[in-house]
A and B are shown apart, each in its own frame.
Chain A
């Protein structure tokens, strides 16, 4: 059974990057990738409901309009159980602290270590055997 991952980033190429990195998992049907280019769009997509089951939102922090941290707060207020991983180029303590405070699952600094990210996603989704 597939799970959904929502990537929120104002940078369009980020979606392409994730798609290419997860091309095998997507081909095998392990993950379904969803993309939103702003916090507003992400919230809209969440309100519509994402299928199959959403296990994680990967959000950039530095975005025009609603930034990643604001999005995190909003998501956590409405959908407390959804895991959110914050991705940022700015690995400073303040952002890390606030991300923790708002209930982020992980704090990932760019450039994203995709191998590590895949392990973290696996632990969230549970062993592949259970997915079925």
Chain B
């Protein structure tokens, strides 16, 4: 520093002043800086606080706006403030602070569009801020603008500052601060408020982004849920439509919604959501007809989207179209949007959602609806494909079941050719199972009537009835109607069918829908299959065809059985005839053999008889002659010497003995010849009615005493089992007695013979049994003797066959008995025997 004395003071003074000035300036600047610093600090604090609020409630703007307004007012020294956000034409208040009660009350009762106010208009016009020094000293106040007057007079507002919230130059809202005195806002305060405005826009943007993310998430969730429902109920569209409509209604902020189906002719309600009760009732009573001017009608005409802002502001409403009126008045519908469900230009339905206020749906909501519509189309297509696949699978399954059933029946048929019943049973059982019937019967024709042949799954009570009835052709019964019409008959409900007469029986059986199919042979119903259901449900063509197949099979089975039965009967008959023939032939051969033997025997007897007579006669004569010789020669012989005399006498004696032996054996031969001649005697005995039991008794006595006469030691137990009800029979008593004597004698002989060979305990028994068989009489002669070995049984009745020692039997007894029984009486004689146990002869004599 350089200065003179004189001049030094002056400059000092000047310097001091300068210094004081500079100091003041420095103080001022310090204060300013301090203030700036404080303001900045406050601003930054406020900003930080606002940011904190923004961060703490992401997506929610109300608390952000509120906090922002509070801070702005504080920092800018405002008495009260408002914040609004543009929404289309309007700019509704989103936050307010410190508004005097009277003014707040005015605002509440007089909703005045801030957006149309003079200040906001300037923002829209492009101003960044509108700083009004005195609201009262202004044209608007002076011309009596109601909002301005209220602001000034009720709110006491004087100096006001409005800052625009801008995003990409577009006004999206505003902050409006008021002072109740005339004092302008400083530049810094203005800048601070602008900063807040910027932050508010950021917050709004954040919120928007967050909301969009949320919405997107929600929509995606909804879509995913709908897809989940589609997947979880494939083929079943109702839950899909329900879920879809619920979400569409909710996400689009609609009050209620309708999902419609279009089948190519008319619309049907596929899902309803939140329909107000009054309109729901109206719809029930008056099913809506969607004409060309209705929303669905317009979609049908080709529109891709129908968006009606106000249902009451439409020609259709004004034309008093009932549904439009009802939906507006009963459901309160105002804004509506309808999107089509379209597949390849074909309308398949529509989603229609309604709002109960006039508020347009956003683009996003519209696209969401369209998205749902697309999903609905996919779901419907899926359902159609699934249904088709299922139907084809079901068809295939059914065809398989039918074929299996058919082959089952065929198997049973081939397995039981001789027995019809299992086949018919299989038919009814299979028919019930495959035709979803509850019971089935088969009736068969029998002399003009139809009777029960087989049944399955009837209630016991009903089956009792059905088994008993005989059905004639007629409309009153299922089987009767089938027989009458000779064709398939379906009765939808037996309980109400006017011609069906046995309704009581149907009630007992609990059956409604019936199907009857005839069993036709050459066009004639030889039977019928009847099916019944415990519900009303007609039988499908496939089921009817199946039952027809069964009927055909049953006819074949019945025919087979009939043919087989006939064949069998014919075979049995032929076999029986053959057996009879063989028997007859055998007995004829036997009889002829016997007759031939008899004739031969008689012939031999005749031929032997004459020479035998000579033998006997001459032997007898020779004895006489020898006697005469002895007498005549006696005197001469007496003269001879003793030796000679003795020799002569001895020779004569021997001759006499020889002649006597010749006589004796000759007589024996004569006895045989006489027996042999019995064969040729023919019927000699006279026939008369006799009591066979008495004849048996008599013959037993004779035989017994005859045997006793020959052998004193003879003894046998004779048992009788004589039928007390035996009526007299015509026969030749003498001949039959001969037969009895023969058989009894044989029995005595065999039993005695066994007794002689057996241990001491053996008791010979002869049992005689008689039985009246009606057409014939049977006599059995049984002894417990030695029995007859099988190998000689065939020879029993042959002449000369005997097992007795020579001289004891002629071998003609049974032969003659055989002749008497078979030739003379047309009867039979059979023998049964077990060697060492018994022999039993069975005689049958027919009544003539």
Interface of A with B (CB < 8 Å)? 11, 13, 17, 20-21, 89-90, 92, 110-112
Asked whether any CB of chain A lies closer than 8 Å to the CB of B617, the reply is yes
Q: Specify the chain B residue showing the minimal Cβ separation from A89.
A: B609
Q: List 11 A-B contacts (CB under 8 A).
A: A17-B617, A21-B617, A21-B621, A89-B606, A89-B610, A89-B613, A110-B610, A110-B613, A111-B613, A111-B616, A111-B617
List, in ascending order, chain A residues with CB within 8 A of B617's CB. Answer: 17, 21, 111-112
Cβ contacts under 8 Å, A90 to chain B: 606
Q: In the complex, how many angstroms separate the beta carbon of B79 from the nearest chain A beta carbon?
A: 175
For B625, the closest partner residue in chain A by CB is A20
Interface pair B621/A20, CB less than 8 Å apart: yes
- Which residues of chain B are near A111, meaning CB under 8 Å? 613, 616-617, 670
Q: Is B618 on the interface with A (CB-CB < 8 A)?
A: yes
A111 to B617: give the CA distance in the assembly, Å. 8
Q: Lowest 3 CB-CB distances: which A-B pairs, in order?
A: A111-B613, A20-B621, A89-B609
Kindly state whether residue B214 has any CB partner on chain A within 8 Å: no
* Complex CA–CA separation, A92 to B677 (angstroms): 11
Q: How far is the CA of A21 from the CA of B609 in the complex (A)?
A: 19
Interface residues of B in 614-628 (CB under 8 A from A): 614, 616-618, 621, 625
Which chain B residue has the least Cβ–Cβ distance from A17? B617
* Complex Cα gap A110–B606 (Å): 11
Find out whether the CB atom of B606 lies under 8 angstroms from the CB atom of A13. no
User: In whole angstroms, how far apart are the Cα atoms of A13 and B617 in the complex?
Assistant: 11
Give every chain A residue within 8 A of B681 (Cβ-Cβ).
Answer: 92
Flag if B614 contacts A17 (CB, 8 Å).
yes
Interface bits B624-661 vs A (CB < 8 Å: 1, else 0): 01000000000000000000000000000000000000
- Which residues of B have CB within 8 Å of A110? 609-610, 613
**Docked pose: A12 CA to B625 CA in angstroms:** 20
Minimum distance in angstroms from A55 CB to a CB of chain B = 23
CB-CB under 8 A from B613, the residues of chain A are: 89, 110-112
Closest to A60 in B: B610
Specify which of B606, B609, B621, B625 is in contact with A17 (CB 8 Å cutoff).
B621
Instruction: List chain A residues, Cβ under 8 A from B625.
Output: 20
Most chain-A Cβ atoms within 10 A of its Cβ — which of B609, B616, B617, B681?
B617
Determine whether the beta carbon of B618 is less than 8 Å from that of A17: yes
Q: Which residues of B contact A112 (CB under 8 A)?
A: 613, 617
Smallest distance from the beta carbon of B133 to chain A beta carbons, Å? 183
Give Cα A111–Cα B606 distance, bound, in whole angstroms: 12
CB distance from B30 to the nearest CB of A (A): 192
Are B614 and A13 interface neighbours, CB within 8 A? yes
CA distance A111 to B620 in the complex (A): 12
Complex contacts, B606 vs chain A, CB 8 Å: 89-90
With both chains docked as a complex, state the minimum distance between the C-beta of A70 and any C-beta of chain B, in angstroms: 20
Provide the bound-state CA to CA distance between A33 and B670, in Å.
Answer: 28
* Residues of the A chain whose Cβ atoms lie less than 8 Å from the Cβ of B610: 11, 89, 110
Report the Cα distance A17→B681, complex, angstroms: 28
Docked Cα-Cα span, A20 to B623, in Å, equals 12
List B contacts of A89 (CB < 8 A): 606, 609-610, 613
CB-contacts of B661-718 with A (<8 A): 670, 681
Nearest-neighbour CB distance to chain A for B615, whole angstroms, equals 10
Closest to A13 in B: B614
Q: What is the chain A residue whose CB lies nearest that of B605?
A: A89
Complex Cα–Cα for A17 and B610 (A):
12
Considering only CB atoms, which chain A residue lies closest to B624 in the complex? A20
- Which of chain B's residues have a CB closer than 8 A to the CB of A11? 610
Taking the nearest CB of chain B, how far is it from the CB of A64, in angstroms? 14
Complex CA distance for A11 and B617, rounded to whole angstroms = 14
Provide the residues of chain A in CB contact with B614, threshold 8 Å: 13, 17
Q: Give Cα distance in the complex from A20 to B616, angstroms.
A: 14
Contacts of B618 in A (CB 8 A): 17, 20
> Considering the chains assembled together, what is the distance between the CA atoms of A98 and B151 in angstroms?
179
Rounded to whole Å, the gap between the CB of A65 and the closest CB of chain B is: 18
Nearest A-chain residue to B680, judged by Cβ = A92
B682 to chain A: closest CB distance in Å? 8
A13 to B610, CA, bound (A): 11
| Contact partners of B609 in chain A: CB under 8 A | 89, 110
Q: Mark B21-55, 1 if CB is under 8 A from A, else 0.
A: 00000000000000000000000000000000000
Query: What's the nearest-Cβ distance from chain B to residue A68, in Å?
Result: 14
Bound: A120/B609 CA distance, A: 24
Q: Which residue of B lies closest to A24 (CB)?
A: B628
14 other A-B residue contacts (CB within 8 Å) besides A11-B610, A89-B613 = A17-B614, A17-B617, A17-B618, A20-B618, A20-B625, A21-B617, A21-B621, A89-B610, A90-B606, A110-B609, A110-B610, A111-B613, A111-B670, A112-B617
Q: Which residue on chain B has the smallest CB distance to residue A114?
A: B617
B674: min CB distance to chain A, Å: 11
B612 (CB) vs chain A CBs: closest residue: A111
CA distance A13 to B681 in the complex (A): 28
List residues of chain A with CB within 8 A of the CB of B621. 17, 20-21
Shortest Cβ gap from B449 to chain A (Å): 66
Distance, CA A90 to CA B617, complexed state (A): 18
Contacts of B795-845 to chain A: CB distance below 8 A: none
Per the bound structure, the CA–CA distance linking A11 and B616 in Å amounts to 16
| B669 CB to nearest chain A CB (Å) | 12
Give the docked Cα–Cα distance between A112 and B616 (Å). 11
Nearest opposing residue in chain B for A94, CB measure: B682
CB-based nearest A residue for B621 = A20
Look across to chain B and name the residue whose beta carbon is closest to the beta carbon of A11: B610
Of chain B, the residue at the smallest CB distance from A90 is B606
Closest A residue to B670 by CB, please name it: A111
Q: What is the minimal beta-carbon distance from A66 to any residue of chain B, in angstroms?
A: 19
Interface centre among A11, A21, A92, A111 (most CB of B within 10 A): A111
Nearest chain A CB to B627 CB, angstrom units: 13
CA distance A111 to B616 in the complex (A): 9
What B residues does A21 contact at CB under 8 A? 617, 621
* C-alpha spacing A48/B606, complex, angstroms: 35
Give the distance in Å from the alpha carbon of A110 to the alpha carbon of B615 in the complex.
13
CB distance from B673 to the nearest CB of A (A): 10
* Docked complex Cα distance between A111 and B609 (Å): 8
